[in-house]
Amino acid sequence: MSGNASIHADAAVTGMAAVCGACDAGPYLRIRKLGKFMGKQDVLAVVAAARAVQAAGLTAPLGERCGLYAAVGYIPFETSEINRLLDASLDGEDFSMQRFAAQAFGAINPLLTFRVLPNMPAFHVSLNLDIQGPYAVSYPGIGQFYTVLEEAIAAIDSGIIDVALVGAVADQRNFLVEHHFSRVTPPVEPERLADAAAFIVIERRAEAIARRATPRARLVDCQLDYSPAEPFAGHAPSECLIRDGVTVSGFGELGPASLGVVLAGTERGRLTHRARTRDGFTVCSTWEVT
Amino acid sequence: MRYRVAVTGMGVVSPIGRTVHGFRDALFAGRSGIGPITTFDPATLPTRIAAEVKWDGELMRDRKISFVLDAAAQAMKEATRAGTRPSGDGGLGLGLGLELFSMDDLAAKRRGRPVPEPIAERAVYLQTPSDLCVSMLADRFELRAPPLTHVSACAAGTDAIGSAFRMIASGRRRWMMAGGADSMINPLGVAGFCSIGATSTANDDPHRASRPFDLRRSGFVLGEGAGVLILERLEDARMRGAEVHAEIRGYGASFDAHGISEPHPAGRGAFQAMSRALAEAQVDPDQIDCINAHGTATPKNDPVETLAIKRLFGRRAYDIPVCATKSMIGHLIAAAGAVEVIAAIAGMKAGVVHPTINLDHRDPACDLDYVPHTARNHPQRFVLSNSFAFGGQNASLVLRAGDD
């Protein structure tokens, strides 16, 4: 038995941007000294969000009438950081709390705490674009991207906000996320995992046109179904993106960012996204890119 | 069409009680749930105290999963006491803290221990992904509408209830299980907060370590637990004869867009969240009878929250009782907002404001009526509940008493 939700949008996508792999947030930082707090997921999110806002013809500060809605992938942790922590905590081959407290604790970079938290990409995006509106930050996959999209469109429809920045970010080429995907059924090879972020800007169509923005895309139809599934042993996941009848291939495992990455790379045409996730979501959406 | 949203079930697992009644009684008595850490040996970490849940049964390795399953069962039991479930498909809104990893497993992995074969072991080896929690709740309580997980740190529990309220009010969901769960009382969790100097180091006097609004406050005390509400349309609740504990009337969220660990100095984001919640509730500031504060006992939060309250309520701010649940249960991070909403509803139902304990030396910058030391009889029709996160995510809820 499953339940469902539909997302109906009389709204326009006025900006889209995506980044995959390494990138530099430097040009987009409003307060440069806070750059030292940024992890890879934060950099990806800031770059994609800032470029989407630029593409929409908007500029910071976005203020109180802009909301931020984001899905963040599994919590990341780099091998080098983990090794430093473990090396200082071992007594022989075993973890020692005494050594952890006496040695490893002091070796932890205090900034590390901030770099892995799942709400930090939203913090850095809000800071650098000066967003003071509402938000929803979810985790960890493409099903959750759709749930934040639903929240964003509901906020626009109800008049709470005028602009929604909706996106996803996944820092996946690291020790902890690779470990996670090695234990699911079927396992995902690390080489298939990619670091990516994508954001879109959504506005009410009439207001977008009134400010002479060019609507780039619209959500034609969207359906979410859900039936609880055990994420380790549930049904095998599947995902496909079809652009004008042709299947888009080779985009790898982009976590919650998959739709956004392909959407941002679509110049024109009709894009359909279908996915069935390990955690029980079945999603289908169609977008028209003009 | 906009629907009124009723709370018809509540469940809590907290450091001072594992039932709503037990929790309420401990709150009203001003009992502290803080003590030395027992779940692991904190050795010489600067902070060696926490507000742990006293649990006598079997626990899942990720403690918060056990906590939230128990709280959800309590809430559902209460909501279905009339003999019927809420109407239609239910959804789940859950504020979740995320686990890093087990240091013991990390050492084992380096020694060459492979990923275990049995699914139950594989799922928790090295790290338990928190989405497991969502699937287990949805499966156990037959929640079939798409769930929304919130990872907005200390605001997550309040965000989960707020967005669930909106989903029902707007007709997008018929009913929701909503709340939060967290446990970061583990080596990495405690060390992480120690490393940024956020937690109290008053290890020798744990009951007095959490001191919101007190001049001698020295940081928050980490807590753990879960709080779960059942929310449904008020008309559905009345139709099926369910007891209505309270209504959710408004939700406000905002970004500070300021600092990573410090709030905007003028309390801009806190003010925006509170005023948006009041606006949605269509409640004037002079109708609010009590504020359940975020009140972390950190040097930065308490004066800024006070400032934001004074900006919103003007001179009347001095007449509104403001209480800090964290003085007794510590900071439950992603579960905090949900558990504190339950504290607020319990207070409204009883006409009692629970105390802010350990408020011995008032900070001159914190000059409101924080209900120090002992509970106070005080009828409440509308209550405001605040949660403000690291990273500047702020969330507030307006609650209304009973069913009228």
**A141 touches B at CB < 8 Å:** yes
Q: What does the alpha-carbon distance between residue B371 and residue B375 come to, in Å, rounded to a whole number?
A: 7
Q: What is the mean pLDDT of residues B145-165?
A: 97
For B62-78, what is each residue's pLDDT tens digit?
A: 999 999 999 999 999 99
Whether residue A48 contacts residue A18, with contact meaning beta carbons closer than 8 Å, is answered with yes
**Contact between chains at B146 and A225 (C-beta distance less than 8 A):** yes
Is there a domain that residue A223 lies in?
no
Selection from B330, B338, B383 nearest residue B357 by Cα: B330
Chain A and chain B share a number of CB contacts under 8 A equal to: 230
What are the residues whose beta carbons fall under 8 Å from the beta carbon of B25, sequence distance 6 or more? B17
**Contact between chains at A113 and B196 (C-beta distance less than 8 A):** yes
Q: What is the mean pLDDT of residues B299-325?
A: 97
pTM of full prediction above 0.95: yes
Contacts of B167 in chain A (CB under 8 A): 154
User: Parallel, antiparallel, or unpaired for β A238-243 and A269-276?
Assistant: antiparallel
Whether residue B393 contacts residue A119, with contact meaning beta carbons closer than 8 Å, is answered with yes
Contacts of A119 in chain B (CB under 8 A): 151-153, 389-391, 393
Q: Which of B115, B130, B254 sits opposite A132 (nearest CB)?
A: B254
Phi, psi of A207 (to 5 degrees): -75, -35
Q: Which of B255, B261, B391 sits opposite A132 (nearest CB)?
A: B255
What's the pLDDT score for residue B336? 98
Q: What does the alpha-carbon distance between residue B59 and residue B321 come to, in Å, rounded to a whole number?
A: 38
**Contact between chains at B391 and A119 (C-beta distance less than 8 A):** yes
The residue annotated as part of the active site, out of B150, B264, B294, B354, is B294
Can you give the CATH number for the domain in which A54 is found?
3.40.47.10
For B182-223, what is each residue's pLDDT tens digit?
A: 999 999 999 999 999 999 999 999 999 999 999 999 999 999
Q: Which residue of B has its CA nearest to A144?
A: B148
Is there a domain that residue A48 lies in?
yes
Is there a domain that residue A27 lies in?
yes
Q: pLDDT class for B80, splitting at 50, 70, 90?
A: very high
Label residue A209 exposed, middle or buried (CB < 10 Å: 0-12, 13-18, 19+).
Answer: middle
**A288 touches B at CB < 8 Å:** no
**Contact between chains at A227 and B144 (C-beta distance less than 8 A):** yes
Other CB atoms within 10 Å distance of the CB of residue B48 = 18
Q: What does the alpha-carbon distance between residue B108 and residue B236 come to, in Å, rounded to a whole number?
A: 53
What's the pLDDT score for residue A1? 45
Helix (H, G, I), strand (E, B) or coil at B124: coil
Encoding tokens for residue B138? Answer: 């949805």
Sequence letter at residue B386: N
What's the pLDDT score for residue A42? 97
Is there a domain that residue A262 lies in?
no
**A80 touches B at CB < 8 Å:** no
What's the pLDDT score for residue B118? 86
Is there a domain that residue A179 lies in?
yes
**A136 touches B at CB < 8 Å:** yes
**Contact between chains at A131 and B255 (C-beta distance less than 8 A):** yes
Q: Which of A8, A83, A123, A151 best probes binding to B when mutated, by most B CB atoms within 10 angstroms?
A: A123
Phi, psi of B155 (to 5 degrees): -95, -5
Label residue A236 exposed, middle or buried (CB < 10 Å: 0-12, 13-18, 19+).
Answer: exposed
> Which residues of chain A carry a pLDDT beneath 50?
1
What are the residues whose beta carbons fall under 8 Å from the beta carbon of A119, sequence distance 6 or more? A72, A137, B151, B152, B153, B389, B390, B391, B393
What's the pLDDT score for residue B345? 98
The structural domain count of chain B equals 1
B33, pLDDT greater than 50:
yes
B93, pLDDT greater than 90:
yes
User: Parallel, antiparallel, or unpaired for β A163-170 and B90-96?
Assistant: unpaired
A267: distance to nearest CA of chain B, Å? 31
Q: Which of A32, A80, A82, A119 best probes binding to B when mutated, by most B CB atoms within 10 angstroms?
A: A119
**B107 touches A at CB < 8 Å:** yes
Label residue B310 exposed, middle or buried (CB < 10 Å: 0-12, 13-18, 19+).
Answer: middle
Q: What does the alpha-carbon distance between residue B217 and residue B107 come to, in Å, rounded to a whole number?
A: 37
What's the pLDDT score for residue B5? 98
User: What's the N-to-C CA distance of chain A in angstroms?
Assistant: 38
What's the pLDDT score for residue A2? 59
Helix (H, G, I), strand (E, B) or coil at A254: coil
Selection from A117, A52, A113, A64 nearest residue A257 by Cα: A52
Q: What is the mean pLDDT of residues B233-260?
A: 96
Is there a domain that residue A55 lies in?
yes
**A126 touches B at CB < 8 Å:** yes
Is there a domain that residue A34 lies in?
yes
Rounded to whole angstroms, what are the CA distances from B144 to A131, A153, B157, B164, B227?
Answer: 33, 21, 21, 14, 21
Mean pLDDT of chain B: 96
DSSP code for B97? -
Selection from B291, B94, B243 nearest residue B176 by Cα: B94
Q: Which of B47, B103, B161, B166 best probes binding to A when mutated, by most A CB atoms within 10 angstroms?
A: B103
Q: What does the alpha-carbon distance between residue A194 and residue A171 come to, in Å, rounded to a whole number?
A: 7
Q: What is the ipTM of this complex?
A: 0.96
Q: What does the alpha-carbon distance between residue A219 and residue A229 come to, in Å, rounded to a whole number?
A: 27
Element (H, E) at A201: strand A196-204
Residue B95 belongs to what domain range? 5-401
Element (H, E) at A262: helix A258-264
Contacts of B114 in chain A (CB under 8 A): none
Q: What does the alpha-carbon distance between residue A40 and residue A53 come to, in Å, rounded to a whole number?
A: 20
B403, pLDDT greater than 90:
no
Whether residue B375 contacts residue B353, with contact meaning beta carbons closer than 8 Å, is answered with yes
Selection from B120, B101, B261, B104 nearest residue B188 by Cα: B101
**B158 touches A at CB < 8 Å:** no
**Contact between chains at B151 and A119 (C-beta distance less than 8 A):** yes
**Contact between chains at A119 and B393 (C-beta distance less than 8 A):** yes
Can you give the CATH number for the domain in which B254 is found?
3.40.47.10
**A88 touches B at CB < 8 Å:** no
What's the pLDDT score for residue A234? 64
**B275 touches A at CB < 8 Å:** no
Residue whose token pair is 């600067």: B46
How much of chain B, in percent, has pLDDT values that exceed 70? 100
- Chain B, 250-269: which have a CB under 8 Å from a chain A CB? 252-258, 260-261, 268-269
Q: What does the alpha-carbon distance between residue A120 and residue A105 come to, in Å, rounded to a whole number?
A: 22
**B144 touches A at CB < 8 Å:** yes
B107, pLDDT greater than 80:
yes
Give the torsion sign (CA, A274, A278, A282, A286): negative
Rounded to whole angstroms, what are the CA distances from A138 to B40, B130, B294, B352?
Answer: 30, 11, 22, 35
Q: Which of B43, B89, B91 sits opposite A98 (nearest CB)?
A: B43
CA B301 to chain centre: 16
Active site residue B207: no
Q: What does the alpha-carbon distance between residue B109 and residue B106 come to, in Å, rounded to a whole number?
A: 5
Sequence letter at residue B119: I
B372: distance to nearest CA of chain A, Å? 33
The residue annotated as part of the active site, out of B133, B150, B154, B245, is B154
Residue A132 belongs to what domain range? 10-75+117-215
- Chain B, 317-346: which have a CB under 8 Å from a chain A CB? none
Whether residue B135 contacts residue A231, with contact meaning beta carbons closer than 8 Å, is answered with yes
Is there a domain that residue A121 lies in?
yes
**Contact between chains at A101 and B44 (C-beta distance less than 8 A):** yes
**B106 touches A at CB < 8 Å:** yes
Encoding tokens for residue A44? Answer: 């990806």
The structural domain count of chain A equals 1
Active site residue B294: yes
Round the CA-based radius of gyration of chain A to a whole number and report it: 20
